[in-house]
Amino acid sequence: MNPFLGVIFHWLGGLASGSFYVPYRGVKKWSWETYWLVGGFFSWIICPWVFALTMTNDVFGVLRQQTASTLWWTYFFGAMWGFGGLTFGLTMRYLGMSLGMGVALGYCAAFGTLVPPIFKQFMPGLPVGASIQEIASSTPGQVTLAGVGVCLLGIAIAALAGFTKEKEMPVEQKKKAIAEFNFKKGIMVATFSGIMSACFSFALTAGNPIGDAAAKAGTSTLWTGLPKLVVVLAGGFTTNFIWCVLLNLKNRTGYQYLASHVKEEHAHHGGTGGSEHGAAAVAAAGKVADLKIPAFANYLFSALAGTCWYFQFFFYTMGETQMGKFSFASWTLHMASIIIFSTMWGWILHEWKGSSKKAHLLIAGGIGTLIISTIVIGFGTYLKSKM
């Protein structure tokens, strides 16, 4: 075990997750459900199988030897996490990258980090490294728990920054950076997303026997988490696939996957300055324009976004293998690093442009607190490695 290396891997996973939504900004003339599902094929089906088949031994044999219970719970919690992933995309639409990820991942960090050790306290057979009592009874564990607390404080500060921004900035300014900015709707979606996304931590825990079997099959320790990602992400894909197809049917957007052109109706409102001008306006009203869909570019950007999102899990499982008894802290490290990098993108994309100095100081303070939390958690795992 190498906790320091584990922290590095979690930061790389955070970079991938904090950046994944950026390529979607290049998609044109596609509905949200269309590009989300295309990206999802790469995130949850193509990449998991490609990397598991190329970097681990006997994937099919490893999966065949699992009990129905192991496969079911790994898949089930993956499907529950899928609801979080689905609404996570909506959170980005309504709150932007920096605030959206900050609020959603706040819930995710708390539930995903603390609930498995708490459950182990009452369910000793649960495949979690240590119970909350065992963790709290040692100095390294206390330091690590303190790091979790600092992380949650940082998330609260980041959310306060977003609330301040909402109150201060005019609607026009917010719409320039985030076309569908809606704080109230975004907060509700982010809350649901964060709580459901915590199920990913449970899914990985339920899939531990798959990782053990991969190790026995001769797979290097770093890659033993890849086979269980195949099952977890299949669950996530199921949820997202059903919802996106339903939206395609409801919104009549299914044609976009194969279409090269889209028809858009343009309603022009002419003035009353003259009968000729008014007649032209009436003729133009309701005119349908035939616009080209950049299909190749849309598939490329969606594939890039989906692949980038997969890499958060790729690096997460690598980091988890290095954390030892304090692997429960992996979730907090992952969440904090995502918020740090997503906020960086928020600044680059001018999501906070026009907000007050107070809002800027709050978001900077929140990010600084999150960085400190990762250092504290890293120190806790370092102390454990010396015992």
What is the structure's pLDDT at 156? 80
Does residue 283 belong to any structural domain of this protein?
no
Q: How many domains does the chain have?
A: 1
Write the single-letter amino acid at 237. F
For residues 208 and 69, the answer to whether their CB atoms sit within 8 Å is no
Give me the domain span that covers residue 77: 3-259+295-385
Q: What is the DSSP string of 122-141?
A: H-TTS--S--HHHHHTSHHH
β-bridge partners, 265: 288
Residues 117, 330: Cα–Cα separation, whole Å: 13
Does residue 267 belong to any structural domain of this protein?
no
For residues 360 and 315, the answer to whether their CB atoms sit within 8 Å is no
What is the structure's pLDDT at 232? 96
What is the structure's pLDDT at 213? 96
Q: What is the DSSP letter of 26?
A: G
Does residue 49 belong to any structural domain of this protein?
yes
Does residue 108 belong to any structural domain of this protein?
yes
**pTM of the predicted protein model:** 0.71
Closest CA to 18 of 236, 340, 315: 340
What is the structure's pLDDT at 259? 81
Does residue 351 belong to any structural domain of this protein?
yes
Mind listing the pLDDT tens digit of every residue in the chain (387 residues)?
A: 777 788 888 888 888 887 888 899 899 989 989 999 999 999 999 999 999 999 999 999 999 999 999 999 899 989 998 988 788 777 777 776 666 766 776 666 666 666 667 777 777 766 566 777 887 888 888 888 888 788 778 878 877 887 787 677 666 665 555 566 777 777 788 778 777 877 887 788 889 899 999 999 999 888 998 999 999 999 999 999 999 999 999 999 999 998 877 666 554 444 434 444 444 444 445 555 667 888 899 999 999 999 998 998 888 888 877 777 666 667 777 777 777 787 777 777 776 777 788 888 888 888 788 778 877 876 776 777 676
What is the structure's pLDDT at 38? 96
Does residue 286 belong to any structural domain of this protein?
no
Does residue 63 belong to any structural domain of this protein?
yes
End-to-end CA distance of the chain: 13
Does residue 282 belong to any structural domain of this protein?
no
What is the structure's pLDDT at 177? 54
What is the structure's pLDDT at 191? 76
What is the structure's pLDDT at 269? 43
What is the structure's pLDDT at 300? 96
Residues 231, 202: Cα–Cα separation, whole Å: 13
For residues 106 and 194, the answer to whether their CB atoms sit within 8 Å is yes
Q: Which two tokens stand for residue 381?
A: 């795992």
